[in-house]
């Protein structure tokens, strides 16, 4: 399995993405939110990044809630707990 690389992004024009996961040529932007609820607004930075880079791979908003939700085109909100629970 290829290794993934993790990056943080902040540009001179104030675009800030909490993280980018790179695996090969694929880049997946993500935001981390402490709130138990999520809105489409929480994905604004990802939407802007996708528009500027012309990438449609999608992105993730990790949040403190309990439901998986679509919050933008190809942008999913996922409970952060789902990424750290031990499946065993």
Q: Give the domain ranges of the chain.
A: 5-84
pLDDT in tens, 16-31: 999 999 988 889 999 9
Residue 2 CA neighbour count, 13 Å, CB half: 8
Average pLDDT rounded to a whole number, residues 51-77: 94
Average pLDDT rounded to a whole number, residues 67-78: 96
Share of the chain above pLDDT 70, in %: 93
Strands (E), 1-88: 5-10, 16-23, 26-32, 59-63, 69-72, 75-79
For 60, which DSSP code? E
Judged on CB neighbours under 10 Å (0-12, 13-18, 19+), 39 is middle
* pTM for the model: 0.86
């Amino acid at each position: 399995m290829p290794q993934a690389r993790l990056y943080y992004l902040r540009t001179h024009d104030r675009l800030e993405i909490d993280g980018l996961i790179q695996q090969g040529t694929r880049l997946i932007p993500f935001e981390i939110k402490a709130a138990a609820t999520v809105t489409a607004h929480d994905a604004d930075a990802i939407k802007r990044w996708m528009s500027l880079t012309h990438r449609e791979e999608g992105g993730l908003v990790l949040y403190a809630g309990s439901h998986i939700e679509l919050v933008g085109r190809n942008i999913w909100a996922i409970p952060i707990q789902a990424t750290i629970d031990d499946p065993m």
